[in-house]
Each structure stands twice: as structure tokens, then as C-alpha cells.
Amino acid sequence: MPKLCINIDHIATVREARKTIEPDPILGAKLAIEGGADGITVHLREDRRHINDRDVLLLSQLLCHSESFAKTQDDISNSVLFTLEMAATDEMLEIVSKIKPGLITLVPEKRQELTTEGGLNVTGQKKYLTEYLEKLHKKNLTISIFINADKEQIQIAKEIGADFIEVHTGPYAENPNDKELSTVKEAIEFGKSIGLKINAGHGLNYQNTAAIAKLPDIEQLHIGHSVISRAVIVGIKEAVREMKLLAS
């Protein structure tokens, strides 16, 4: 049974639509945890279009570093994973060196995209990423790479020092058939065979998640937009509970 990590970016998207203080992603994170989330995931983008520095700081304090919060929330700091998605930039290196999230997921990033459009091209920037991962590891940080279901890319991710990969499930989510599911399965199997830990995510929703969750060797599912969309209708606790059932 993979752990379910809820991406709360789009709570912040609603907030930023009015440039106000609500809805608060921190409260959303707490409610997601009450609903059964095993982890909270956010993407701190260069343009800060949704999640901002304040959100990341507070989440790191609540989930990673706050003894008082842990005592009042059944010690969730020891059981709830905080994942920060980010581009491999100097600015982000400085930020994570201070907040030390439980997991860093390196993703490609373009200002004009609505959402991440594909996995990180590790073969095209092997030297740079090797050096970047070395800097992260020196800070005792754990690193995942969001990557397409491509064996060459996965092999290079291993060679440059990734601890995890997150297999990009977008093509399957857009066209959920046996061929796309098999592609994801083969990528997971290959990554596992060369010593990587495996996560999966992108585009997963209440119709297509169950088949992915049944695949062996997935450590974590990272799901956001569909859960937050559902929460608008039924509330975030119920939305998370429903997804948790599908992933179990």
C-alpha cells in the first residue's frame, strides 16, 4: 500500500486569485492529515504563483521541526512526510538548506506552463545535476527526481545520485489503458531493480488512481489537483478519505 501524499498547491492558487490570506494552505494541510494523508507536498515555483515562502516555512515548522505542534497533533512531525517540489536552482538550494524538508523532488519548471509538462531531462544536464545533488546530499537531504517512464532517464537518475524517482503518470492519466499502465509498471520495476525507491504521480484522480496504487513497489503517491477539486465540493477531509480508500 503506497503512502498518500497530498499536494496542496491549489489551495494557494485560490488564495492568490484574490491576493488575500484565505484559504490558508496550512489549515488545508492540517485537515488533509486529519483525513488520512501520509504526507503533504508543495511546489515552490520561481514565480510564486501559488505556494510562497511563508507557506513553506510554516509547513516545515509544523511538519519537521515543531515539538509543541507534534505534542498537540499526535506527533505527526514524526509520521507525516513534508515534500518540497522545486527546480534545481541556486535560490532553491539556499531555501532547502534552511528548512530541510523530509523529501525534495526536483522538477522541470517553465514560467508559461499551467502545470508541470513532463519529467526532468536528466540525460541532458547530467553534469549540472550531479553537482547539484552532491550539494543537497552534503546537507543530509533526501532527493527524488520527477521523471518520465523512460529507462535511460531512470538509469541516469541513479547514476547522478537520486535516492528516489517519481514516475510521471501523466500519459497514463490522460489515456488510461493497458499499454500506458504497462509503461508505468515497467519503469517502476526497472527503477527498483537498480536500487531506487519509487514514487508516482501527476494527473491521478478518482477514476484512474486505483490501478496505479495496485502496482507493487510504489512508496508514495503524490496527488493534488483532483483532491483539492473534490474538496471544493465535499470538503478536504472527505476528499482525502476517499482517495485514501482508493490507494489502499
The SS3 of residue 221 is: strand
Question: 168 an active-site residue?
Answer: no
Tell me which of 10, 50, 168, 202 is the catalytic residue: 202
Tell me which of 10, 43, 50, 168 is the catalytic residue: 43
CA–CA gap between residue 4 and residue 216 (Å, rounded): 15
Question: 202 an active-site residue?
Answer: yes
CA dihedral 103, 104, 108, 113 (to 10 degrees): 70
Rg (CA), the chain: 17
Q: Where are the beta strands (DSSP E) in the chain?
A: 3-7, 39-43, 81-86, 103-106, 143-147, 164-168, 197-201, 218-223
Q: Counting every residue, how long is the chain?
A: 248
Start-to-end CA distance of the chain, whole Å, equals 5
Tell me which of 10, 50, 85, 219 is the catalytic residue: 85
Question: 222 an active-site residue?
Answer: no
Secondary structure of 160-210 in the HEC alphabet?
CCCCEEEEECHHHHHCCCHHHHHHHHHHHHHHHHCCCEEEEECCCCCCCHH
Looking at the annotation, which residues are catalytic? 43, 85, 202
